A and B are shown apart, each in its own frame.
Chain A
Amino acid sequence: MIGARMATNTPQAAALNFRLVSVDPSGAAMAVPWREDLVGDPDTGVMAGGVITTLLDHVCGLSVSCAVIAADGGFMEFGMATLDLRIDYMRSAEPRREVIALARCYKLTRSIAFVRATAYEDDEANPIATVQAAFAFTGPRPSQGAGA
């Protein structure tokens, strides 16, 4: 439910037609369809890296929400901010293909979440890009109470 909301709740995600693929405590996956107006290299028709950056940032954030709910048993009232995002591009995305991004939050601390993610078309083992990201919570996590 939270995943479905996050897929379309923010104007930028709606503008890019993000689609929720899967969501569970171990991670989240979302997809962005190829569109003519999102092309970054007119010579090849490949979607702009920025579209994939946005998808990756978005799905990383969603995976943190999922991890917090799984760990704390409650929906978070706080927000979070991306601290940094490191993206390695292994290859170009294939033109006219939907791109999927799968993110896993592998460590939560009181104030920071660490996430890895991969972008691909069909197979996670054949990545377009991989990501390492850190997020900071802007308020206390549910398990730590309002005063923590």
Chain B
Amino acid sequence: MSQDREERLAAMLAAIPYMKFLGMTAELAGDEMTAILPFAPHLVGNVMIPALHGGVIGAFLEMTALCQLAVREPLRRQPKTIDVTIEYLRPGRAQTTYARADVRKIGRRIANVHVEAWQDHRASPVAALRGHFLLSVPEAEGAKS
């Protein structure tokens, strides 16, 4: 249900202190989520350009993946990141950054998610992430193993 999705996303945005530290938000259009990172001076990593810190861009991409997983289906607990590969394509300028995540595969325990971030043009991404995330094992199964 779209209302459930909205509620799950809103709950996650409200619950995670680090998303507030980044100043990150997200919007839903049906099942399609766009994460938004408004520019803020404390996100800068290179004052000369100025450019967003590469770690901030990576963090934003990872958080986008976690939000997309929460939107997709109710989760008992937040998934754990297993690994991420972050590719930096262009400097992240001092302006708003957007990201969308694509859940490429979701199994019983592991999800594979691709995320792309852009600023002015979606066709010119600033960075991309591929990652694996460990989903919480259902109670009964967890007790057995």
Contacts and interface: CB of A to CB of B under 8 A. Distances in A.
Nearest to A85: B86
Interface in A37-93: 37-43, 47-51, 53-58, 79, 81-89, 92
B43 A48 contact: no
Interface in B54-107: 54-56, 58-60, 62-63, 77-78, 80-88, 91
Nearest to A39: B17
Interface stretch (B28-36, B45-53, B111-119): B45-53
Nearest to A86: B85
B48 A84 contact: no
B18 to A, nearest CB: 4
B44 interface: yes
B15 interface: yes
A11 interface: yes
Interface of B: 15-18, 20-22, 41-48, 53-56, 58-60, 62-63, 77-78, 80-88, 91
